[in-house]
């Protein structure tokens, strides 16, 4: 089973993925937790470029193809082999992030991005996509305190630095995608304490196990 987690900055994906991983292991599943960008060797190089706050000159189309290159390699090298061995794969972001950030956020053509996604993934769609949804102000406040705490404001801050309206379009983008494919998506309210959010996530995944 292939599960992806999506959401705006600071939605709490990492915490929820860690909780989901231990829960699924306790049920006896083999679990692989991974992420985009950066879930394979090539991806780590691409991630460093994509998240570097100094790369202000990156063209939107160039950025798009870097995310797609990361995805194509990661699907081929990591995700498909793990699924073939029967693992549950938990992936922190996938193609819906490209549609939300590069499409709804940056303004690239959404339908075209959807077909590029099919090409990059060879048609591999998630069985479940959990969207952790919360107001962008709350998410950005969480992301900022995390980045300053980790000293990551230079290397991981390129997206956090964008204006509020951009993040609002991204949030609306995820909700639009979820409404288009209600069978694949589960929108979970990501406000409140991590355990309360996790019970919503657990329900979404549990229904599809």
Residues of the shown chain interacting with ligand TYD in the complex, contacts defined by CB under 6 A: 9, 13, 36-37, 51, 67, 92-93, 97-98, 101-102, 143, 159
Q: CA–CA separation, 195 vs 193, rounded Å?
A: 6
Residue 33 or 98 having the CB closest to ligand TYD: 98
CB of 76 to ligand TYD, least distance (A): 16
* 131 touches 201 (CB < 8 A): no
Q: Which is nearer to ligand TYD, 80 or 144 (CB)?
A: 144
Please choose, from the candidates 130, 45, 138, the residue with its C-alpha nearest in 3D space to the C-alpha of residue 94: 130
67 or 174, CB closer to ligand TYD?
67
Are residues 153 and 28 in contact, defined by beta-carbon separation less than 8 angstroms?
Answer: no
Residues 12 and 194: beta-carbon distance below 8 Å:
yes
Nearer to ligand TYD, 93 or 171 (CB): 93
Pairing verdict, β 88-92 and 185-189: unpaired
Q: How far is the CB of 37 from ligand TYD (least distance, A)?
A: 6
Question: Are 171 and 49 contacting, i.e. CB atoms less than 8 angstroms apart?
Answer: no
Provide, rounded to whole angstroms, the least separation between the CB of residue 84 and ligand TYD.
23
Looking at beta carbons only, is 173 or 198 nearer to ligand TYD? 173
Residue 175 CB, nearest approach to ligand TYD (Å)? 16
Q: At what angle do helices 110-121 and 60-74 cross, to 10 degrees?
A: 30
Q: How far is the CB of 11 from ligand TYD (least distance, A)?
A: 7
């Amino acid at each position: 089973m292939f599960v992806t987690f999506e959401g705006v900055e600071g939605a709490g994906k990492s915490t929820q993925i860690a909780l989901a991983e231990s829960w699924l292991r306790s049920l006896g599943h083999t679990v692989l937790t991974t992420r985009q960008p950066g879930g394979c060797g090539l991806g780590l190089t691409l991630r460093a470029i994509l998240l570097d706050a100094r790369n202000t000159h990156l063209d939107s189309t160039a950025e798009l193809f870097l995310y797609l290159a990361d995805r194509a390699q990661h699907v081929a090298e990591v995700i498909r082999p793990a699924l073939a061995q029967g693992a549950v794969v938990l992936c922190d972001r996938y193609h819906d992030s490209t549609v939300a950030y590069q499409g709804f956020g940056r303004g690239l053509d959404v339908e075209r991005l959807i077909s590029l996604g099919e090409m990059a993934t060879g048609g591999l769609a998630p069985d479940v996509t959990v969207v952790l949804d919360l107001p962008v102000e709350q998410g950005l406040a969480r992301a900022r305190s995390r980045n300053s705490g980790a000293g990551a404001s230079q290397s991981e801050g390129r997206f956090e630095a964008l204006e509020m309206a951009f993040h609002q379009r991204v949030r609306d983008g995820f909700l639009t995608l979820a409404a288009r494919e209600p069978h694949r998506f589960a929108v979970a309210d990501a406000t409140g304490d991590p355990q309360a959010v996790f019970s919503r996530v657990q329900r979404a995944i549990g229904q599809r196990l």
